[in-house]
A and B are shown apart, each in its own frame.
Chain A
């Protein structure tokens, strides 16, 4: 599917945002059209049009306050939690408008996982953190009654915990202390635990909001390796303010600039080597931002 740049879009707005047309192969996981977000009266995002392809890493970069995190939180409707936020335009996930009236938020968020800027494990054991989602969805049953009646999914749970922790490259470090409180882990471990926790509900997309910004360089590189691995199976959308990081791990890059404009979107190599607009070039080369 190719990008249609002018769907619903106002021409002036298009010119103002210096939208660069770019096409890519594969299906779009998200098709965003003419998305505006307001916090009370402040406009955080302006007429965003973007298609995010499946099974690849899409990086959202830009200076702080440019609205890239806001955009990310639109994709699984976490912005609904902020009461002052008002959203206009459309966001389609797999061709279904996720802002429609009959959308089931619970199912949507189960299918679109999210990893936050600050690691936020629950104050429970490592095992319970991973099994939290499947248990809540009724996929794994370890309640008292099922244990008594033998309908206990303990083995399946063990297997799931190991698979997810391996998937998040954390298994080696914590396999001998799965029952310890997750808050005892280091920051980097906590963040990988949060990734493992998101994997456990078997999402189709993983959104990451600056997942490495609170971590040291070693933990950061582990997370980056992990993101590249994840892209083989999942669609990953990652917000980062670190341009080297975006260049290293992403397939596509979208550059947001101050005021909530999506200025340029395309192949990562192309964006970093041959940006179309002067502003993006200035930002990437560090002249501004």
Chain B
């Protein structure tokens, strides 16, 4: 938005005239990028040639016309993000094509048999259910606790405590998931079987709890930013009318930061959906629906753990591997939808809030 109101940039561009040799260098650079792409896909060892030509062209351009070269190079970098995402999409789809051909829509069938690799039966339903259950449990932990924590840090904590707590929470967001997994495997799983008499180690419930705790700092941190972003004047306005602090938080601060808060929760959900390691080491990898369906203490499988735990077995079989890629497609589509949803909510809130900034 800001960039559109910097008119001088476009004017400056028009002023700079391009000499022929610069255009040639640019063309060579562009061609070598295309050639690199083609060669890397087909004959990767030969892709060294376009890399060298590209480097030469870029060096020449840098020497002749730094501005234009810099602009092209940064454009290339920008385009690379789109290209990478495109490649991910294409390769996931392409590799999962086989299992779609074998299973068709039965990939999501609602009745057993679900997963019998020896009979080429690969239905993802149990894994999707496992992901849904763990995500729900994790969201129930991370959502309310995270938002309450954010409100505490932003609105209630004395400033000195806030200066310590906020960075601490951000640091805790960095604890790698395998560490959570290690704790879950060695501490939570045994405790669950002690307290709840679980027959098998590992359950969707325990995984959901651990993932929820893991997502908690992320949710707190993002939600706190959203709450802090509510201008003080708005809170002042409520307090000057004689409301209590809590009333002003509830009826002004939370509604005004609603988009940020929901983005925080969606982010937490996204993390929970994509979380792999903690779930992989904690679960028992039983590719079946729990019986009954609502038995959250069952030991089944999620989409991510399916990939991480089964890929060693699948490496020699195309159809099996393809099923794992299908699980990847489902995951990818889910988190992409979540991130688009949060973008949409934010955009909508911004348009309703108008010029509130």
Contact = CB atoms under 8 A, between A and B. Distances in A.
Do they bind each other? yes
16 contacts: A78-B239, A78-B240, A81-B236, A83-B159, A106-B242, A120-B234, A121-B237, A122-B252, A122-B256, A132-B238, A132-B251, A136-B238, A137-B242, A197-B237, A197-B241, A198-B241
B312 to A, nearest CB: 53
Contacts of A197: 237, 241
A132 B241 contact: yes
B240 A198 contact: yes
Interface string B299-316: 000000000000000000
A123 B251 CA distance: 10
Contacts of B244: 106
Nearest to A183: B354
B141 to A, nearest CB: 29
A81 B239 contact: yes
Contact of B355 (A108, A122, A183): A183
Contact of A194 (B237, B251, B356): B237
B255 A136 contact: no
Considering residues A110, A122, A137, A181, which has the most beta carbons from chain B within 10 angstroms of its beta carbon? A122
Interface in B243-271: 243-244, 247, 251-252, 255-256
Interface stretch (A9-17, A50-58, A111-119, A217-225): A111-119
A201 B239 contact: no
Interface string B140-177: 00000000000000000011000000000000000000
Interface in A91-116: 106-111, 113-114, 116
B354 A184 contact: yes
Nearest to A184: B354
Contact of A122 (B238, B239, B352, B354): B238
Interface residues of B, number: 25
Given A78-B240, A106-B243, A116-B233, 15 more contacts: A78-B239, A81-B236, A83-B158, A106-B244, A108-B242, A110-B241, A114-B240, A116-B240, A118-B233, A120-B233, A133-B241, A136-B238, A183-B355, A197-B241, A198-B240
A177 to B, nearest CB: 14
Interface string A184-196: 1000000000100
Interface string A173-184: 000000001011
Contacts of B158: 83
A81 B155 CA distance: 11
A123 B233 CA distance: 12
B228 to A, nearest CB: 15
Interface string B323-357: 00000000000000000000000000000111110
B241 A124 contact: no
A133 B356 contact: no
Contact of B243 (A76, A123, A133): A133
Interface in A51-104: 76, 78, 81, 83
B44 interface: no
B241 A113 contact: yes
Interface string A119-152: 0111110000000110011000000000000000
B250 to A, nearest CB: 9
Contacts of A194: 237
A197 B234 CA distance: 13
Contact of A201 (B241, B256, B356): B241
Contacts of A114: 236, 240
A122 B231 CA distance: 11
Given A122-B252, A136-B247, A136-B251, A109 B237 contact: no
A27 to B, nearest CB: 23
B242 A201 contact: yes
Q: Which 9 A-B pairs have the closest CB atoms?
A: A110-B242, A114-B240, A133-B241, A120-B233, A120-B237, A109-B242, A183-B354, A136-B243, A136-B247
A122 B242 contact: no
Interface in B218-240: 231-234, 236-240
A109 B352 contact: no
A181 B355 CA distance: 11
Contacts of B355: 183
Given A120-B233, A122-B256, A123-B353, A113 B240 contact: yes
B255 A123 contact: yes
A136 B256 contact: no
Contacts of B241: 109-110, 113, 132-133, 136, 197-198, 200-201
Considering residues B232, B237, B244, B252, which has the most beta carbons from chain A within 10 angstroms of its beta carbon? B237
A76 B247 contact: no
Contacts of B256: 122-123
A133 B240 CA distance: 10
B354 to A, nearest CB: 4
Contacts of A198: 240-241
Contacts of B239: 78, 81, 109
A45 B127 CA distance: 68
Given A118-B233, A120-B231, A120-B236, A133 B353 contact: no
Contacts of A116: 233, 236-237, 240
Contacts of B242: 106-111, 133, 136-137, 201
Considering residues A76, A106, A136, which has the most beta carbons from chain B within 10 angstroms of its beta carbon? A136
A122 B234 contact: yes
Contacts of B352: 123, 181
Contacts of A106: 242-244
Contacts of A124: 255
